[in-house]
Amino acid sequence: MSREQRIGETVLSVEGVSLAFGGVKALQEVSFDVREHEVRAIIGPNGAGKSSMLNVINGVYHPQQGTIRLRANGAWKEFHDMDPHEAASMGIARTFQNIALFKGMTVLDNVMTGRNLKMRASFVEQAIWIGRARREEMAHRRAVEEIIDFMEIQHIRKTPVGKLPYGLQKRVELARALAAEPTLLLLDEPMSGMNLEEKQDMCRFVLDINDDYGTTVVLIEHDMGVVMDISDRVVVLDYGRKIADGTPDEVRANQDVIDAYLGVAH
Amino acid sequence: MLYREAGQFKSTYAEDQQIFPIRQDRVAVFLLLAVAFLVVPYVANQYWLSAILIPFLIFSLAALGLNILTGYAGQLSLGTAAFMAVGGFMTYNFVLRMAWLGIIPSFILAGICAAAVGIVFGLPSLRIKGFYLAVATLACQFFVLWAIQRIGWFMNYSPSGVITAQTIEILGYAFDTPATKYLLTLAIVALLALLAKNLMRSETGRAFMAVRDMDVAASVIGIPMMKTKLLAFAISSFYCGIAGALYVFCYLGTVEPEAFTLDLSFRILFMIIIGGVGSILGSFLGAAFIILLPIFLSVLTGAFTQATGIEPSHAVLSNLEVIIFGGLIIFFLIVEPHGLARLWQIAKEKLRLWPFPH
Amino acid sequence: MYSLVALGFVLIYKASGVFNFAQGAMVFFAALTFVSLVERGVNFWLALVITVAVMVVLGISIEKVVLRPLVNQPPITLFMATIGLTFVLEGLSQLIWGSQPHLLELGIQDVPMEWLVQSTGIVISQTDVFAAGIAGILVAALALFFQYTRIGRALRAVADDHQAALAVGIPLKHIWAIVWAVAGIVALVAGLMWGARNGVQYALTFIALKALPVLILGGFESIPGAIVGGLIIGASEKLAEVYIGPMVGGGIESWFAYVIALLFLLVRPQGLFGEKIIDRV
C-alpha cells in the first residue's frame, strides 16, 4: 500500500499558538495540521522555535495564545494547558534532543517504563508477586522484547543506559517511546550527532515505525537529505513564525525558506 | 568455576525475572536462611543474639526503608528516626489501649501510622528536591520528636519519661527470650525484604528509579509524580515504622524518645551509603558493617592494649569510632560510591572465573 | 548570629557548589582549638593567630583529601562526604582537646545594652550587637572580594561549572583551597561569637543545622540573603517561643525554624535572594 493512499484525516491541529518566555517570543501565531499516518517534518534555522513547538504539543510548555486540537479515540479534544502526563495518556510519545533516558537503569528497564500507563496492578499486588501483577509483567515484557527486536538492541538489553554510546542511547529512547504504543510520535532531532550509517539506520526505523505500526510521526530535523527523503509534508519555522507549509519539493523551492536558511534579512 | 552459569538457560521471561536467576545463588540463599532459622537460635549465645543479630536485623529493615526512599526514589530523607519513633510509640499505644488487636496487627497499624506521617512530610517533595528536601525531612524529625515528648498521650502520661514495653504475645505464646525475639524479628524482616525486592523489580520500582533519574522525563512518559513520590514516602515510612516497633519491642525493651534522635537518622543514612544506595542487599551489608564496626574496634584496641600495655580511655575510643565512621564514609564515596553491594557484585563476577586467572 | 554561620555555608556553596554540612563542625573545631590554647596560657592574640593558621591548614587539607578525588561526582555525593567530614571533625576535636564545655572570654559581656533598653525597651545583648557588627564587616569585605577582584570572579566561575572553569584555565585547586581557608576563618569568627555566648561545647555543632533554614530563607547563593535570613530566623524563633510557646507546652525552638523554612520552600524555593532554578529538558 503506498504511503499517499494510507494518509488519513487530520489528527492534530495547531491553531494560532503563541508562546513567549518573559520577553522572548518563541512562537508567534503558528498554525498547521498533521494528518493521520503521515510523517511531518518541522524544520527551520536554529532558534526558530521548533523544540518549543513540540513542547507545546506535548504539554511541557503552555502557550499564552492558541489551542491544540487532538483527535483521540475518535473524538476531538481541545486544550491549551494540558500537562505532559495527560498528553502521554492520550497517546502522544516523544523523544528529546538531549536524551532523557534514566541513566541508572538498564535498557530493558528503560523501555519497560514506557509501558507504565498500561500497567494496572497495584503496588500491593506487585509486592506479593501473584496473579495479576505477575501476568501483567510477563505480558508487557513480551511486548517490550518485540520492540527491542525491532530496534535491534537485543545485545545491550541488560546494559545500564549510562554506559552506552550516544547513537545507541537515541535508539533506546525511541524504543521507550514506541513501548507506549503511541498514536502520535514526536521526535526531537532523532538523528543529531550521528554519522551517515547511524542516520540511515534511524531513517529506516522511523519509516518502519510509520509503515508497520501506522504511527503518525512529527519530527524536527536539520539534515535536509533526511527530511526530503522520509517526510510527506514539511512545516518551516523561522523566528517563531511559520514561513512555509507543504510537500518537501514545494518547500525546497520556496524563496522565503531559502532566504531564511541563507540568512537574508527579511 | 564453581560459580559458572553455563548450562543454566532461561526459557521463559518468568525465569529471567527471578530474584536469584543463578542456581548457585538460590542454593546459597536457601542455606543461609536455613541456618538463620534453624541453627542459630540453638547455637548462638545470648550476647550474639541480643546485641548483634537482633539489632542487625532491625537496622537492616530501617536501612531498607530508607533505601526505598533515597536509594530507589531519589528523595533524600533525614527523618528516618522520626518514622521509626512513630512506629515504636504507636505500637506501644495500640497494645496498651487496644490489646485485643494482637501484636502483629498492632505492628501493621503502627506501620500504617508511620506511612501516614511519611506522606504528610513527603508533600514538600512535590515541589522541592535534593538538600532542600533534606531540610524538610529535618523539620519532620525535630517536630515528631517534640510532639511525642510534649503530647502526654503518647507516653501514657508517664512521669519518669521512660516506659517499659510490653511483652510480645502471639496466640498466647510469649516471646520473651532472646532466641524467640530473634526468630520473630528474622521472620518479619525476611518477609518484608522479599516484598520489597518484588516491589522494586516491578513497575513501582521502575517508576521510583525513573523519578530519581530524571523526573521531568518520567512525567512526560506518563508516570504520575505525586502518586509515585508519595507512595515512596509511604512505603519507606511503613518499613521504618515496623523497624521502630521492633526496635522498641525486641531490642530496647523501653519506649523513649531519646532512642530516636537525629543521630540515628544519620547512622541509617551511613548504612545505605556504605552498603550501597538503591540496593536491597546493600541495606543488609551496610547495617552489618556499622553494627560490627564498634566490636571490631574494641577487639583491635584489646590487641593493642595487650601488645603495648596502654589502655585508651573510653572517651578516646568513642571519639575514634566517630572519626573512623566519618573517614569510612568519605573513603567509600571516593572509592566505591555504590558501596559494598557493588563490591559484592564485582566479587561475584570474579568468582565466575575462579580459580582460573582470567 | 546565625548569619555568621550561614555565611560560611554560602561561601563554599558559591564557590564550589558544595553544600558543606561540616561547617558546624568547623565552627566547633575552631572555637575549641582557640579556647584550649587560651586556657593553656597562650596569649589571646597569639592564640587567635595560631587558630587562624590551623583553620587555614584544615581548609586546605580538606580540599585536598576530600574534594579533589570527588571532583565530578553529583552534588549529593559531595554533600554526603561533608556529612562524613562532620563526624571526623567532631571526633577529632574531642579527641584532641577533650569534651568538657569551656568558657570563652572575649571581653564583651552578654548583657543587654543599657541605653537601648532605656530608650526603646528592646533587649539586645552586647554580644549580639558586636556579632552583627562583625558580620557586617565580613559581608562588606567578602562582597567587595567577590565582585571586584580577579579571584572573586574566578570563584564565581567555578561555582557555576567546574569543567568550564578548568577549560578556561582557572586553577581550580588554588581557588578551592582559598575558599575553604576563608570558610575556615569565617567558622572561627562564628565559633568565637557563639562560644562567648553559650560556652564552647559539643552542642555548637548543631548550630550548623539551624543555619540550614537561614540558607533556605536567604537563598543558598546569596550573602545578603544569609544576613537577612539569619536575622529573620533568629528573631522569629525567639518571638515564637515567647508568644506561641506557652500555648503548646514550650520547647518550640527546636523545630520552629525548620517549619518556617518548610513553608518558604513551598512558596518560594529559591529564597528571598536566590536565583530561580530552571529545569531544562
- Any domain includes B240: yes
**Which chain B residues contact residue C259 at CB under 8 A?**
139, 143
**Which of A93-97, B164-168, C131-135, C276-280 is predicted most confidently?**
A93-97
Domain ranges of chain A: 1-91+182-266, 103-180
- Any domain includes B334: no
pLDDT at B240 over 90: yes
- Any domain includes B65: yes
**Which chain B residues contact residue A84 at CB under 8 A?**
219-220
3-class DSSP assignment, residue B197: helix
- State the amino acid at position A35 in one-letter form: R
pLDDT at B267 over 90: no
Nearest CA to CA, how far is A106 from chain B (Å)? 10
Domain ranges of chain C: 2-205
* B11 touching chain A per CB within 8 A: no
B residues 276-305 near A, CB within 8 Å?
Answer: 278
* Long-range CB contacts for residues C148-155, cutoff 8 Å, separation at least 24: C151/C175, C151/C178, C155/C14, C155/C15, C155/C179
* A90 touching chain B per CB within 8 A: no
Set of cell numbers at residue A217: 510521526
Pairing of strands B163-164, B254-255: antiparallel
- pLDDT-above-90 percentage for chain C: 0
Per-residue three-class SS string for chain C = CHHHHHHHHHHHHHHHCCCCCCHHHHHHHHHHHHHHHHHCCCCHHHHHHHHHHHHHHHHHHHHHHHHHHHCCCCHHHHHHHHHHHHHHHHHHHHHHHCCCCECCCCCCCCCECHHHHHHHCCCCEHHHHHHHHHHHHHHHHHHHHHHHCHHHHHHHHHHHCHHHHHHHCCCHHHHHHHHHHHHHHHHHHHHHHHHHHHCECHHHHHHHHHHHHHHHHHCCCCHHHHHHHHHHHHHHHHHHHHHCHHHHCCCCHHHHHHHHHHHHHHHCCCCCCCCCCCCCC
pLDDT at B76 over 80: yes
* CB atoms inside a 10 Å sphere around CB B235: 25
CB pairs under 8 A between B and C: 123
* B120 touching chain C per CB within 8 A: no
Nearest CA to CA, how far is A81 from chain C (Å)? 18
pLDDT tens digits, C169-178: 767 667 777 7
Q: Which of A87, A139, A82 is nearest to A115 (CA)?
A: A139
How would you write the pLDDT of chain A (266 residues) with one tens digit per residue?
Answer: 455 567 788 888 888 888 888 778 888 888 988 988 889 999 888 777 888 888 888 888 888 888 888 887 777 777 777 888 888 888 889 898 888 899 888 999 999 988 888 887 777 877 777 777 888 888 888 899 999 999 999 899 888 898 898 889 999 999 999 998 898 999 998 888 888 888 898 999 999 998 888 889 999 988 888 888 888 899 988 888 888 888 888 888 888 888 777 765 54
d(CA B66, CA A244): 55
Nearest to C83 among B143, B149, B329 (CB): B329
* CB atoms inside a 10 Å sphere around CB C74: 10
Residues A186, A14: contact at Cβ < 8 Å?
Answer: no
Set of cell numbers at residue C191: 565559633
With respect to CATH, is domain A1-91+182-266 assigned 3.40.47.10? no
Which backbone phi and psi does B333 adopt, to 5 degrees?
-65, -35
- Dihedral-angle region of residue A99 (phi above 0 means left; psi in -120 to 50 means alpha; beta otherwise): left
* B172 touching chain A per CB within 8 A: no
Note the ipTM here: 0.82
* CB atoms inside a 10 Å sphere around CB C140: 11
Q: Which of B147, B157, B163, B167 is nearest to B255 (CA)?
A: B163
Residues B243, B58: contact at Cβ < 8 Å?
Answer: yes
The pLDDT value given to residue B65:
93
User: What's the mean pLDDT in B232-260?
Assistant: 88
Partner-chain contact A113 B207, CB within 8 Å: yes
C206-218 and C2-16 helices, crossing angle to 10°:
70
Residues B200, B68: contact at Cβ < 8 Å?
Answer: yes
- Tell me the sheet residues that pair with A242: A237
d(CA A237, CA A48): 6
Q: Which of B324, B314, B319 is nearest to C97 (CA)?
A: B319
d(CA B86, CA B117): 8
The pLDDT value given to residue B242:
93
Radius of gyration of chain B from its Cα atoms, rounded to whole angstroms? 21
d(CA B18, CA B2): 21
Q: Which of B232, B194, B229, B191 is nearest to B108 (CA)?
A: B191
Residues B114, B144: contact at Cβ < 8 Å?
Answer: no
d(CA A124, CA B265): 27
Partner-chain contact B127 C269, CB within 8 Å: yes
Partner-chain contact C91 B319, CB within 8 Å: yes
The pLDDT value given to residue B116:
92
**Residue B214: burial class (beta carbons within 10 Å; 0-12, 13-18, 19+):** buried
User: In Å, how far are A7, B278, C12, C153 from C150, measured between CA atoms?
Assistant: 62, 43, 17, 5
**Which chain C residues contact residue A60 at CB under 8 A?**
281
Set of cell numbers at residue C185: 576563618
Range of the domain at B130: 21-260
CA angle B126-B131-B133, nearest 5°? 30
Per-residue pLDDT band at C280 (split at 50, 70, 90): very low
DSSP-H helix ranges across A61-130: 84-89, 107-113, 123-128
Nearest CA to CA, how far is A132 from chain C (Å)? 35
- Any domain includes B345: no
Partner-chain contact B218 A138, CB within 8 Å: no
CA angle C47-C190-C66, nearest 5°? 85
User: What's the mean pLDDT in C244-257?
Assistant: 61
Residues A97, A149: contact at Cβ < 8 Å?
Answer: no
d(CA C95, CA B313): 10
- Unique residue bearing C-alpha cell 517534640: B146
- Dihedral-angle region of residue B194 (phi above 0 means left; psi in -120 to 50 means alpha; beta otherwise): alpha
3-class DSSP assignment, residue B172: coil
**Max Cα distance, chain A (Å):** 66
**Max Cα distance, chain C (Å):** 61
C residues 82-121 near B, CB within 8 Å?
Answer: 83-92, 94-95, 98-99
pLDDT tens digits, B282-334: 899 999 988 888 888 778 777 777 777 666 666 677 777 777 777 887 788 77
Q: How many domains is chain B built from? A: 1
**Residue B211: burial class (beta carbons within 10 Å; 0-12, 13-18, 19+):** buried
3-class DSSP assignment, residue A19: strand
CA atoms within a 13 Å half-sphere pointing along the CA-CB vector of B77: 41
- Any domain includes B250: yes
